[in-house]
Amino acid sequence: MKKIKVLVVDDSAFMRKLLREILSSDPDIEVIDVARNGKEAVEKVNLLDPDVVTMDVEMPVMTGIQAVEAIMKQKPTPIIMVSAYTVENASITFEALDRGALDFITKPGGPISIRLKDVKEKIIEKVKAVSHVNVKALRPPLKRRETLEALPGDMDKLVVIASSTGGPKALSYIIPRLPGDIRAGILVVQHMPEGFTKPFAERLDKLSKLTVKEAEEGERISSSVVYIAPSGYHMKIGEEWIINLTKDAPMHGVRPAADITMLSAASVSGKRTIGVVLTGMGKDGSMGVREIKARGGVVIAQDKKTSVIFGMPKAAIDTGCVDEILPLEDIPEGIVNMVAVK
């Protein structure tokens, strides 16, 4: 089997050594070289043609963000950002995702205590996941749409969006294009490390006409508000549309899991539920869309061409419960139209 070729980029000699050791411990991965800054990274991507790049955020000469932008213009390559666990770095990391980076991991150590074994497993898992992504989907959508206008319809619809790898960028396209007076509450389950969902919600809030926030225990869902499930918590919907955050066991190896949110939302909202499954590996959301359809709701899945990883949308489509398969650029309009149906 051909090994996955990885280029490690970090200005810290310790981190370069650590990441090389972690990745090289897996027989399917080969670290072909390292780079000390963004400029070296761009040069070595063009020279060595790696399958995956792990990219530090803050570096001298050329930052990680600048390097991501240059690589996406010259030789689009799957990039995983390696970010320190801080609010400031979270903001920078999301900017890198906007420029084309696929995913991110938190650095071992730093201001929080992370067990090296957990970090090791996550790094290897993410590198393997993105090594065969749809590179064409890393480019921005061809069509650019302004914020849509709300259409007449029920104000009590509930939209549940599931996303994973490639999801932050997809959500950063979809949410800002939804109208500020859309007559639905919107729940988002994005697989993301702990501590990053709140900065992500704040970033989307600044970009959007909708109110976007990290979900809180016991709050009632309101129309025209987007609730991001906090990392480390499942988000369930109870009677009277009350949000309940739980530390129940992970599902599909993740917490939050979109299936849990979709199942509870469908049980409360029935035919008023709209499911949306975006890019990501695995099958999270496939159980939820079955329940949504069984109770008379409707489902959208992102198409293969615009999905960075088609795993989650494909699993949803394979259930036979998806009503529309749409490219990323058409999903905002698809949501608005489904909300308008009485």
Encode 299-332: b = buried (16+ Cβ within 10 Å), e = exposed.
bbbbbeebbbbbbbbbbbbebebbbbbbbbbbbb
Tell me the H-state helices in 58-110.
Answer: 64-74, 87-99
Question: Could you give the CA distance from residue 81 to residue 64 in angstroms, rounded to a whole number?
Answer: 8
Q: Which of 284, 303, 307, 330 is catalytic?
A: 284
Q: Would you call 164 a catalytic residue per the annotation?
A: yes
Domains annotated on the chain, with CATH: 4-132 (3.40.50.2300), 157-340 (3.40.50.180)
Crossing angle, helix 38-48 and helix 64-74, to 10 degrees?
30
CA distances from 206 to 202, 211, 294 (A): 6, 9, 36
Q: Would you call 191 a catalytic residue per the annotation?
A: yes
**One-letter amino acid for residue 8 of the chain:** V
Please give the model's pTM, rounded to 2 decimal places. 0.89
Q: Would you call 25 a catalytic residue per the annotation?
A: no
Q: Which of 191, 231, 286, 307 is catalytic?
A: 191
Q: Which of 83, 98, 103, 164 is catalytic?
A: 164
Cross-strand pairs, 301 = 277, 325
Helix (H, G, I), strand (E, B) or coil at 37: coil
Dump pLDDT digits (tens) for 113-172: 445 566 788 899 899 989 988 877 776 665 555 777 776 666 679 999 999 999 999 999
Half-sphere exposure of 126 (CA within 13 A, CB side): 26
Nearest to 4 by CA among 45, 52, 36, 47: 52
Dump pLDDT digits (tens) for 252-291: 989 999 999 999 999 999 999 999 999 999 999 999 999 9
